[in-house]
Amino acid sequence: MKTIWECVKHFGYLFYIVDPKEASYENVDSVPDYITQVIPYFVTLILIEQIITFVKSYRLIRINDAIASLSQGILMELSKALFKGLALMSYIYIYRNWRICSLNWQNTSTWIIAFIAVDFGFYWIHRFTHEINVLWAAHQVHHSSQEYNLTTALRQSVLHLLFQYMFYMPLAVVIPPTTFLVHNQFNVLYQFWIHTQLIQTIGPLEYILNTPSHHRVHHGRNKYCIDKNYGGVLIIWDRLFGTFQMERHYISYGLTKNINTFNPFTIQMHHYFTIFHKFNKVRGFRNKINCLFAGPAWDVDAPNDTDFHDYETPNESGYYLLAFYLPFIDFIWFYNGLQEMVQIF
C-alpha cells in the first residue's frame, strides 16, 4: 500500500515538483512511466473540476465532448505502440554516435540543462505545429474542442508523438536519453492542469510559468489569441520571441472554423483531407508548396484569412463513442490507474 508521502509525491509530478536525484536514471529501461502513475490524479482532478463548476454555475461538462477528448487520448496512447519504440531508438542512436559531449546523468546540473532544453524544444515544436500547415493537421486535434477543461488536455493526435520526437532529435547530441525521457514526460504532465477555467491567476509566477490564464489564450479562436503562448512549462520563451499575449476578455474556444462533430476519425483526419483537396485545386509549384508548408490560414485568394467565426455547438451525439471505446478505456487508461487507487485507499 502506498504511503501518504508517495501519494503526495506522485501528485507533485503534475506540477513538475520532483527531486532530481530521484528522477535520474542510468538505463532507459529504468525510467518509470510517470504518466501512468498519475492517472488516478487525472481522474480525481477532472471530477473535482466538474463538481466545482456545477456548484458555481450549475453547468456540467458536455459528456459527448468529454468522451470525444478521451477517445483522442486513447488513440494517442495506442499510437505509442507504433511510434515510441522507433523514435526512442533513433534518439539513442544519435546520442551514441553523434553526441558532442557526455553529460553525467547523475549530476543535478545535467537535469537542469535538460529541463531547459526540453522546454525550449517544446516551444519551437509547438510553434511549428501552428505555423506549418501539414503539422497543424495533426495538432489541430488538440484545439478542436469548443470546451476548455481538464478533459481537453487529453485530446491529442495519433501522430503527436512522431512529430514531437522528430523535432526533439537535435537534443540527442547533448542530452542523455534517460534524462530526456524523464523531462519529456514531466513537460507533458505539467500541461494537464493548465487546461482549466477555474484558476484565474497564480500571481507573480505568471511572469515565468505557463499558467491556465496564458494557455486559455492559446486555445482561444478570438483574433487576439491566434498563434500566441506556445510555451510548455515556461512562458519566458513567448516573452523572448514575441508570441506572448495576456488574457484580456472573454475567450471563445476551438478552431477558427469549427468542424462541429464528435466523430473520432473526423477529428483526427479532417484537416489532412482539407490539405489534399486544396493541394489538388491550386496551380503552380510554389502554391502547392505553400499549401503544405505555409500557415494553416494560407490560401491563394486570401493568404491571411483568420476571421473570427461565431460559436457553434455540434449537434451530433457523442454517446455512441462511449460504447465503442469503453473496452479501451478500461484496459489502457484506467486499469493501471484503478490499481494504484486501490493501493492508495
Q: Are 273 and 281 in contact (CB under 8 A)?
A: no
Q: Provide the whole-model pTM.
A: 0.86
**180-213, pLDDT tens digit by residue?**
999 999 999 999 999 999 999 999 999 999 999 9
pLDDT tens track for 48-89: 999 999 888 867 778 889 999 998 988 888 888 788 888 899
Could you give the angle at the alpha carbon of 195 between the alpha carbons of 170 and 269, nearest 5°? Answer: 65
Instruction: Tell whether 296 is covered by a domain.
Output: yes
Does residue 265 sit within a domain? yes
Asked if residue 273 is part of any domain, the answer here is yes
81-102 burial by CB neighbour count: b if 16+ within 10 A, else e? eebeeebeeebbebbeeeeeee
In a domain, 216, yes or no: yes
Look up residue 91 and give its three cell numbers.
Answer: 534518439
Cβ–Cβ < 8 Å for 325, 262:
no
DSSP letters of 134-161? HHHHHHHHHH--S--SGGGGG---TTHH
- 274 occurs within a structural domain: yes
- The cell for 51 is 463538481
Band (103; pLDDT cuts 50, 70, 90): very high
Number of domains in the chain: 1
Label residue 162 by pLDDT band (50, 70, 90): confident
Residue 333: band (very low, low, confident or very high) from pLDDT cuts 50, 70, 90: very low
Q: Assess if residue 11 is contained within a domain.
A: no
CA distances from 205 to 11, 67, 104, 209 (A): 20, 33, 31, 6
d(CA 178, CA 34): 13
The cell for 172 is: 540527442
Question: Do residues 144 and 267 touch, judged by C-beta distance below 8 A?
Answer: yes
Q: Which domain holds residue 301?
A: 62-334
Residue 343 lies inside a defined structural domain of this protein = no
Q: Is residue 26 a part of any domain in this protein?
A: no
